Structure 1
């Protein structure tokens, strides 16, 4: 009985957060004149909206681009951040805490501050209107993921690493063969977080991409909104169907990785 208020509050919050997505799915399955009708049942039922959205714009190409950029961005930031986190967790040297504090301080810099200098760098490298700027910056790590992974690494007994060093393991071997398997839940958290950030990022594609064949889903949905929504043909059922198509892959990813994802967050918070 003591858990009933907690369960009731959790259920209410879950329903509240789920309602907008339920409405999105329902509205995407209605004919044009019924899109903004009341209720959550898709009546009349019009599943052909998805076929129309799929054929009206190159959604398969944008989906592939989003998956490609998302995997590249997530893998790059996860591995590079893990390397830096291992250095801060394992090595002891003068000024380590100060240097780590400076790394964390970079999180205080808003993207708007570095946006123009970053664009000028990619422009000088002649990589604008390519997908490289969307993920290559992650090769230098992320302060948030460095912090997350360092806290996880500090929870590991140092004796494991010392014993491996006695057996002749090199520092790269310590990372790849010992640390990397032990921090797999935290690595998965970083990967999923960054994949989601890349999947929903609109600003970078707006800045760097001009060729429609290179668009990711958020940039493509902006085209759909301009063409079929505001100032367009007012075909909101196409816009909503495209939004559902863009959302479903992230839901699938979360449910597939849910157990490891929750384990990684819980372990990091408990041992950090």
Structure 2
């Protein structure tokens, strides 16, 4: 059977495809409006922020606003505190959740399914339920106004991310474990040398989830951090707001600086993030 030369030509997009692309472009445009306004405001002077009609493109670009946020308040210190807490949270969450997920997915032991269901049941507890008891525990341990209450819970696992990693680990063939045991590998050796190297997409997804949550966390630092030199970025943004006064141009500049790491990490790691989320549903 001969193949027509017309079959090799690229197909033109149908009107349904064109319409869907048009809707996506329009949706993306509207989603970018707040970001564009934030960027515009960050380059204005305080006197022109509330001008009417609004100016999308400032007549004079005040780049010094970005320098002022580090000069007027210790914003660099806030960034450093946030980086330290976020990195400790990400490492702790990856280590603890991957170990628990490995035990639920790859090991056979009595009561495994029951404990797994109990762990999933804790997802139904809102954080407001455990907030006060947890605060009382850390207060008795004299850890208030330290970063320990913000870091230690993330070294003790978590139901959602443990479930995500467990689903991914179950998609890895068990034959690899048997082959490793024949070569003399222990359970930890299988976890470290077999499962983790094959789970980079899922680990990247966990890291992005944790980074985003920890970097933008406001409520936790608000409760546990009292000293100004220990503030995170989320608390530091309040430095540009007062009860009767808000420096909108500096607040928008600081918000853009705070948002930039999250956007960059997701932009460069979105491939692994999407793979990690998709592959967790391969095997249940």
Range into which the TM-score falls when normalised by the shorter chain: over 0.9
> Bigger radius of gyration, 1 or 2?
2
**Contact 2:44 2:62 (C-alpha < 8 Å) held by counterparts:** yes
Q: 1:47 Cα shift?
A: 1.5
Q: Distance in 2 between matches of 1:271 and 1:265?
A: 12
Between the aligned partners of 2:181 and 2:142, the Cα distance in structure 1 is 44
Rounded to whole Å, the distance in 2 between the matches of 1:254 and 1:162 is 36
Query: 2 CA distance for matches of 1:252 and 1:42?
Result: 26
The more displaced of 171-180 and 116-125 is: 116-125
- Structure 1: segments with no counterpart, 5+ residues: none
1:231 aligns with 2:244: yes
- Is 1:129 matched up with 2:145? yes
Alpha-carbon contact 2:164-2:202 (below 8 Å) kept? yes
Counterpart CA distance in 1 for 2:157 and 2:235 is 24
How far does the alpha carbon of each residue in 1:233-266 deviate from its partner, in whole angstroms, 9 at most, with x for none? x422111111111111211222222222222223
Residue 56 of structure 1, aligned match among 72, 85, 104: 72
1:271: Cα distance to partner?
A: 4.8
Q: CA deviation at 1:43?
A: 2.9
Deviates more, 1:196-205 or 1:34-43: 34-43
Displacement of 1:36 after TM fit?
Answer: 3.0
Deviation at 1:270, TM superposition (A): 4.3
Aligned match of 2:272: 260
> What whole-Å deviation, never above 9, does each CA across 1:130-172 have from its counterpart, x for those lacking one?
1111111111101000110000001010100011112211011
* Deviates further, 184-193 or 36-45: 36-45
Alpha-carbon distance in 1 for matches of 2:157, 2:282: 24
Instruction: Supply the distance in 2 between the matched residues of 1:102 and 1:46 (Cα, whole angstroms).
Output: 55
Q: Find the residue that maps to 1:93 and give its secondary structure.
A: coil
Partner of residue 168, structure 1: 184
* Residue 29 of structure 2 corresponds to residue 15 of structure 1: yes
Alignment root-mean-square deviation, CA = 1.5
| 1:59-78 → structure 2 map (5 Å cutoff) | 59-78=75-94
Please name the residue that 2:132 is paired with.
116
TM-score (structure 2 length as normaliser)? 0.90
SS in structure 1 at match of 2:185: coil
Q: Which runs of 4+ in 1 moved over 6 A?
A: none
The answer as to whether partners of 1:27 and 1:36 remain within 8 angstroms in 2 is no
TM-score when scaled to structure 1? 0.94
Unaligned runs of 5+ in 2: 1-13
Partner of 1:193: 209
- C-alpha distance in 2, partners of 1:39/1:105? 51
The alignment status of 1:6 with 2:20, answered yes or no, reads: yes
For residue 145 of structure 2, give the secondary structure of its aligned residue in structure 1.
coil
- 2:262 pairs, out of 238, 250, 253, with 250
